[in-house]
Amino acid sequence: MPAPAHRLNNLPPYPFAVQGQRIQQMIVSGIDVISLDIGSPDLPPPPPVIEAIAVSASHPNHHGYSGYKGIPAFRQAVARYYQRRFSVTLDPDREVLPLIGSKEGIVNLALAYLDRGDLALVPDIAYPSYSMGARLAGGDVYWLPVTEQNGYLPDVEAIPSEVLRRAKLLWINYPNNPTGAIAEPGDYARLVNFCREHDLLLASDNPYVDVTFDGYRASSVLQVDGAMDCTVEFMSFSKTYNMGGWRLGAAVGNAGALKNLLQIKSNVDSGHFRAIYDAGIAAIDQTTPSWIEERNRVYQRRRDQIMSVLPDIGLRAHRPKGSLYIWARVENGDGVSYADAVLAQAHVAIAPGLIYGPGGRDYVRISLGVPDARLEEALNRLKQWYRQR
């Protein structure tokens, strides 16, 4: 067999795939592992979504190719969502591009913009696909330090000039995975102005915008004046509508950037099954605010339950206003050692913070997407493990 491409040398295995294999081996051997590591919603989508896919799938003419840009009705629905939710006007034909899950779009955006020698600016605690996409494209990553003290917001003014000369992309994500941090409109305005000044594409990953707590209402960077000049935002159905396995999302924003993204995508995929788009339209148009609020109350209750236990298991954290996670600092030790120990000894899987970049070394991430009874059992195991260790 021939040697694999050199790009694999710069692209380590996806961390959650590696951890998933270890968990699966434990399960096969008869160990009951409770997974608090993956941010996969455990609750079902709204009923109209299920009804819509069933109706559409039964239609005899809905089984062919749906087009590289999806169907117009879906793009129009995404535009309606942005108008209703953010008062942002989008051209459905030029400023909305369907994705096979936002993760696909994140990686393909790097392929569209980064050549060898180019840089992506990535917070040093961030969703792994931002850096993995850059490396897959042959580019490099410059880690932007983010800390609890600065609210996990990047200090872009501190980026060295020699770095900016090579940079093309700046990644942001609020409400944040994994930290739960939020960005205010003023923060977004500062980042937009910086990207316009330095000819950067601002890539805003916004899947948790409708997963918020304590009355907080998140915003879109596209609400900032001038954002459309330099910004692509990724929206996802996985978290807003509990449709993680459906792999449906969209990129919205600057028409030129979306055209470049489409050039990559149209050479790689052929779009979704029509019924998935129809289900997405139902999610946007028929999901009620009360459904979102009730789902978020479930997550908020779990958040508070986990927060109350942290002092008893050697962790501390700020109470997040959004996202699907608790980002907790290990009081004595590091995140990798802590996560390895609880998996091996308590049979509870949590994500070591180092998965999210060099700034996450002393942290772990705990997901809220687990049924109540399993969460209760997991927390009891963790308390017992910490007392006995």
- Phi, then psi, of 363 in degrees rounded to 5: -125, 165
- Report residue 371 as tokens: 């049924």
Residue-level pLDDT at 241 = 97
Predicted pLDDT at 317: 98
Yes or no: say if 74 and 100 are a contact pair by the CB < 8 Å rule.
no
What percent of the residues of the chain are helix, what percent strand, and what percent coil, each to the nearest 5? 50, 15, 40
| Residues written for the chain | 389
Q: What is the pLDDT of residues 26-83, one digit of tens each?
A: 999 999 999 999 889 999 999 999 999 999 999 999 999 999 999 999 999 999 999 9
Sign of the CA dihedral with 110 first, then 116, 119, and 122 last: positive
Q: What is the pLDDT of residues 198-248, one digit of tens each?
A: 999 999 999 999 999 999 999 999 999 999 999 999 999 999 999 999 999
The radius of gyration computed from the CA coordinates of the chain, to the nearest angstrom, equals 21
Instruction: Report pLDDT for 301.
Output: 98
What pLDDT score was predicted for residue 5?
A: 87
Tokens of 51: 């009804």
All residue ranges of the chain with pLDDT < 50 are none
Distances (CA, A) of 258 to 235, 255, 334, 363: 14, 5, 40, 35
Q: Sign of dihedral through CA atoms 311, 375, 215, 205?
A: positive
Which pLDDT belongs to residue 6? 84
Q: What is the pLDDT of residue 226?
A: 97
pLDDT value of residue 201: 98
- Domains of the chain (ranges, CATH numbers): 6-44+289-388 (3.90.1150.10), 47-286 (3.40.640.10)
